[in-house]
Amino acid sequence: MTITEDDIKQALVTWGNGKIAISKAFEEGGIEAAGKVASANLDAYYGYNLGPVLFKPTMASGEQTFRPTKAGALAYFCGHSSEYPRDNGFAIMGWRAMQHINSATFLQGDVAMWMGWIRLTNRHGAITTVDKSFGYKKDDTGTLRIVLHHSSLPYQPPELNR
């Protein structure tokens, strides 16, 4: 049940492909279709079957900054939630490609962590880069699950006045 570097690389590709699939489902079938794809993605590779997932979305604030439940993650990915009215739907923004840039990976048995940048490209060619950390654990069936998902915008220091 040991997690390998290849497992992490595949998990990152799977995560990116999931966001692309959610975006395409939204464009082709609306919010209901996107919600079904997003829910299936969360069930397939997030660790809600193990307990709360430590999920901090990029664009969340206040009491809704942290999302340890599947419902909170689903709202962030698809928006359109009365429970999370500030969510615009990160995963329905027309994503077409994802690139991950590794900073470091920690591997120890059935637990691993990854940190780096994720670059998502939308259908118009615009690129969004986010700082990302993922924590992984293999469940009893050997499936790699995301148990920590932290995302933030890269820090933009103020210009120095000289």
- The residue-averaged pLDDT of 111-118 equals 98
Greatest C-alpha distance within the chain:
59
pLDDT exceeds cutoff 60 at 3 = yes
Mean pLDDT (the chain, rounded)? 95
Question: pLDDT by residue (tens digit) across 10-40?
Answer: 999 999 999 999 999 999 999 999 999 999 9
Domain architecture of the chain: domains with CATH: 5-152 (3.10.450.50)
Q: What percent of the chain has pLDDT over 70?
A: 98
- DSSP per position, the chain: ----HHHHHHHHHHHHHHHHHHHHHHHHHHHHHHHHHHHHHHHHHB-TTTS--EEE-TT--GGGS---SHHHHHHHHH---SSSTT---GGGS-EEEEEEEEEEEEEETTEEEEEEEEEEEETTS-EEEEEEEEEEEE-TTS-EEEEEEEEEPPP-PPPPP-
pTM of the model: 0.92
